[in-house]
Amino acid sequence: MKTLLIISLCLAGAIARLAAEEESLVPLSQTPPAVQKTIAAQIGGGTLGEISRSVEGGEASYDVAFTTGTEDEQSFSVDADGKLLSKEVSWTAIPAAVRKTIQIQAAGWGLEGIDRNIEAGGATYDVEVSKGDETRNLTVDDDGTLLSVTVPLVATPAPVQKTIQAEAAGAQIDSIDEIMDDTQVTYDVQAVKAGAPDNFTTGTDGTLLSAEVTLAETPPVVHATIATAATGGTVKSIDRNYDPAAGDTFDVEAAMPDGSTNSFTVGLDGTLLSREVALDAVPPPARATIQAQIGAGKIIRIDQSLGERRKKVLPYDVQGRKAGKQFNFSVGPKGRFLGVDQD
């Protein structure tokens, strides 16, 4: 019990420290060797500009500005292990389907920049457009699907406005993102209150779906499970998902010493419900079924169920996109296809 308390206090302290960390400019010589190697490869014969180091959830990343040999100003982001996270790209370098979506969604707006986010199995594009003093950000999948768009408060439904004003009372709202998928639209609100994140998500009817919480704000049994499941890591974020019918759950992300992210879900009673896994960590029979089902689509996330059985087995739940649409399904550990998620 004493050991658990120490771990819990360390995690709580880590979260408090994260809120105080800020972005800072650093010289190339103060970046890790792996980062220096990636920077050199990316700028080629260009001229290095500013390097901005930021820390989020205990993980450092570096935003790098440089000037190409043709005097074009460009930028990219890299993590502390030298992995390229995103890169500014030109209009002509993006897929035709992405260009079409931008033209439809941002008609009459001026293009400010496009960042290609490098992800396993594909890419997404963050697009910034402007009109006068107003800016808007879009996120588009590489198949042209619009994933999200920033909107002003007045452009959200009345019930959403009411919830946002209540939840963000006394906070500074940084952004509101309208998130689209095939079954519902939600609104992700990024805000800061008293110097700490105050982020939450609502449905179109104003129902509060989830909210970011601190470790100290979780029930003791949840707190204890997080402390155990994240041992050795630093908690990046905790989202409390509100579900009056099935019971609340907590989605947790922790940064591990090896640079990986440990993502898991905890029930209100402290039960560890699931853990995110990589495709290569899935048993070969299940992996083969997943690859056959997703085909030319994109795997977004795989979660291994640790408690809830489906057809008498603990399944691997896959979130994906296929043919421009959401495609979520489950597979048993021996490769049995357990069906498509209809929610």
Do 175 and 199 reside in the same domain of the chain? Answer: yes
The answer to whether 6 touches 13, Cβ cutoff 8 Å, is no
Over residues 303-313, the pLDDT tens digits come to 999 988 999 99
The answer to the question of residue 263 being in a domain is: no
Rounded average pLDDT over 188-203: 91
Its domain, for residue 122, covers: 90-150
Q: What value, to the nearest 5°, has the Cα angle with vertex 306 and ends 218 and 334?
A: 160
Task: Supply the pLDDT for residue 58.
Answer: 64
Q: What is the CATH number of the domain that holds 98?
A: 3.10.450.360
Task: Supply the pLDDT for residue 306.
Answer: 95
Both structure tokens of 290: 């997943």
- pLDDT above 50 (res 67): yes
The answer to whether 191 touches 218, Cβ cutoff 8 Å, is no
Task: Supply the pLDDT for residue 254.
Answer: 92
Over residues 201-220, the pLDDT tens digits come to 999 999 999 999 999 999 99
Task: Supply the pLDDT for residue 153.
Answer: 94
Of 114, 129, 150, which residue is a domain's last?
A: 150
To 10 degrees, the CA torsion angle through 65, 144, 138, 51? -10
Rounded average pLDDT over 62-75: 89
Do 129 and 164 reside in the same domain of the chain? Answer: no
Of 167, 197, 213, which residue is a domain's last?
A: 213
pLDDT band at 20 (very low <50, low <70, confident <90, very high): very low
Of 128, 150, 172, which residue is a domain's last?
A: 150
Task: Supply the pLDDT for residue 156.
Answer: 96
The answer to the question of residue 304 being in a domain is: yes
Query: Are β-strands 249-255 and 337-340 bridged in parallel, bridged antiparallel, or unpaired?
Result: unpaired
Q: What is the CATH number of the domain that holds 207?
A: 3.10.450.40
Nearest-CA neighbor of 258 among 233, 235, 239, 276?
233
Do 157 and 120 reside in the same domain of the chain? Answer: no
- pLDDT above 70 (res 64): yes
The answer to the question of residue 267 being in a domain is: no
Task: Supply the pLDDT for residue 257.
Answer: 83
The answer to the question of residue 102 being in a domain is: yes
Rounded average pLDDT over 266-288: 96
Task: Supply the pLDDT for residue 194.
Answer: 85
The answer to the question of residue 218 being in a domain is: no
195 against 337, higher pLDDT? 337
- pLDDT above 80 (res 82): yes
Rounded average pLDDT over 7-19: 40
How many structural domains is the chain composed of? 3
Task: Supply the pLDDT for residue 22.
Answer: 64
Do 146 and 157 reside in the same domain of the chain? Answer: no
Do 141 and 167 reside in the same domain of the chain? Answer: no
Do 145 and 187 reside in the same domain of the chain? Answer: no
Do 291 and 323 reside in the same domain of the chain? Answer: yes
CB pairs under 8 A, 24+ apart, for 238-244? Answer: 238/212, 238/213, 238/214, 239/210, 239/211, 239/212, 239/213, 240/210, 240/211, 240/212, 240/213, 241/209, 241/210, 242/207, 242/208, 242/209, 242/210, 242/211
The answer to the question of residue 107 being in a domain is: yes
The answer to the question of residue 174 being in a domain is: yes
pLDDT band at 12 (very low <50, low <70, confident <90, very high): very low
Task: Supply the pLDDT for residue 121.
Answer: 65
The answer to the question of residue 194 being in a domain is: yes
Over residues 25-48, the pLDDT tens digits come to 999 999 999 999 999 999 998 999
